């Protein structure tokens, strides 16, 4: 992130009444991949600027629509995402 874009993000968050934390992307579970993408069997990388904290963990989304869909049935989508994400990981021998 360049200095100018960082300042713009910070100013935008402050002008919108947000906290400083809202101006910066978070680090999330599943290597910052979109949880809804994983639940659908797809790899969708994100910068985690759209995220939510659920049960103490940060989850990232490709867009606000994916986040809102997740929030309707988080346990169901997390299970689907975990199954797909785990299937991609190298198996220990």
pLDDT band at 26 (very low <50, low <70, confident <90, very high): confident
Q: What is the Cα–Cα distance from 92 to 45, expressed in whole angstroms?
A: 25
pLDDT band at 1 (very low <50, low <70, confident <90, very high): very low
pTM over cut 0.85: no
Q: Are the C-beta atoms of residues 59 and 52 closer than 8 Å to each other?
A: yes
Domain boundaries, the chain: 25-88
Average pLDDT over the chain reads 80
pLDDT at 22: 43
Paired tokens of 43: 């790899």
**Secondary structure element (H or E) that encloses residue 61, with its range:** strand 57-61
Span 29-74, pLDDT tens digits: 999 999 999 999 999 999 999 999 999 999 999 999 999 999 999 9
């Amino acid at each position: 992130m360049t200095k100018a874009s960082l300042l713009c993000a910070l100013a935008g968050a402050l002008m919108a009444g947000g906290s400083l934390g809202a101006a910066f992307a978070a680090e999330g579970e599943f290597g910052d991949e979109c949880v809804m993408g994983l639940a659908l069997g797809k790899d969708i990388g994100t910068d985690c600027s759209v995220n939510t904290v659920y049960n103490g963990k940060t989850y990232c989304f490709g867009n606000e629509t994916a986040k809102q869909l997740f929030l309707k049935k988080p346990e169901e989508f997390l299970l689907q995402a975990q199954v797909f994400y785990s299937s991609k990981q190298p198996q220990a021998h």
